[in-house]
Chains A and B, each alone.
Chain A
Amino acid sequence: MTLYWPRRLLAPRKVTAEPVYATASGGRSLTAVEQIVATDAGYWSIVLDEIPVAGAVRKKVWRAMSVLLEGRMNTCAVPIYDYEAPWPVGADYGDYTGIPFSDSALFSDDGGFQQPVITATIQSAVSLGAVTVPITVVSGAALEVPNHFSVANQLYRIKSITSVVGTLTTVKVWPPVRVAMTAGADAEFDDPRQLCRLATDGEMMSGADDYAGRTLARVNFVEALPDAPA
């Protein structure tokens, strides 16, 4: 079962989701030539910063997350709070209205069903390690660099647009595809997430002692690998 970061209760004021690259070099030679060597494209690092943890509910949720994550042991799908997603005209971040049942009734807490504002699907299967992804945008603005989306809780950033034919946009993404995508899979643009684990065992300590109610917590996550493909 995938654990999700409580995106509203523990919402950060600052979010950084950036790739971590790993390159090596032997140094600059006498002829000013420097050879940079990389073994792979890199991985995601996500920092959720300035998270208000004051209040009984937030404290409870924070402490619950702390034990559920068990340091670096367990993984969690971390949202990147992407305000720059390709929202359709007239829509915006968090623009979700409760959709009632067919007889106009809502749930007992006056909440309705929700559906994504941006609807996009993977047009045809994409194999493990590929970088070219065909996306059909059913509802949303034109895709552009560097929009984010996730498929199966694996986050991708659009690196370049290869072609646009009607609603089908073919893009190149970073990082190379972590989990093979099937045709018709949902591309999550509203709330892109990445499966992560805490960067260190002590990450949740930053909000653990907030008795004064003023602490702003900070959590560092690093990308966790999905299960080995069969």
Chain B
Amino acid sequence: MTAQTLTQQVRHAWFVEFHFVSGTTRVWTGFRYISVGGFVWAPVGPRGVVDQIEDPIGDQAPSLSLRMSGVDADTVAVALSETNELRGRMVFIYDLYFDADWQPIDALETYGIARMDTVRVSKSQNPDGSYDRVIEVPAEYLLTTGSNPPNGRYSSSDQQARYPGQTDRYFEFMGQNQNKRSRWPNY
């Protein structure tokens, strides 16, 4: 891989594996479907961008973002409605170099493993009236939540994880109840 990065002609693509709740989606930055590592990867073209990934130093948990530009309004709507699909889920980012015939050199190399956070959408208008839409998925370093005890938060999702199907809704309102004044007894 080092030899590849030192040449003047570099054939390189990103491969990103999203582990959504409903299943795994695999995409790469090329123009065609490609079979690598036993899976078929869907193309997103150069519109898909992976941020620079920093090495975690000490107790820092650097973040990265995965961006997709040039998307249409329908895709934006789908992305926004699927936020629950990705929060806290893993995303794997791989590198792959190609030879002059666009055949993979070696196997996929892991470039980063991160935990997806949410979906951000931005829209800007061009002078000709058209819109540029960008979908961004910020993700945090793999061990970001490492210091948290599993399901150790007073949240509804934690409660449901411990007691699935629980009808007690107390923890849904934890945020609202913080610093809330309740008069009791209330005559």
Contacts and interface: CB of A to CB of B under 8 A. Distances in A.
Interface of A: 22, 24, 33-43, 127-132, 172, 175-176, 178, 223, 225-226, 228-229
A160 B32 CA distance: 22
Given A22-B46, A39-B46, A131-B103, A176 B8 contact: no
B184 interface: no
B161 interface: no
A120 to B, nearest CB: 22
Interface string B1-20: 00000011111111000000
A92 B12 CA distance: 42
Contact of B33 (A39, A131, A225): A225
Interface of A is mostly: loop
A43 B35 contact: no
A172 B101 CA distance: 9
Interface of B: 7-14, 29-35, 40, 42-43, 45-46, 101-103
A43 B9 CA distance: 19
Contacts of A132: 101
A40 B30 CA distance: 5
Contacts of B42: 228
Most buried by B among A128, A175, A223: A128
A38 to B, nearest CB: 5
B32 A176 contact: yes
A38 B42 CA distance: 17
18 contacts: A24-B46, A33-B8, A35-B9, A37-B11, A38-B10, A39-B30, A39-B46, A40-B30, A43-B31, A128-B40, A129-B34, A130-B103, A131-B102, A176-B102, A176-B103, A225-B31, A226-B33, A229-B35
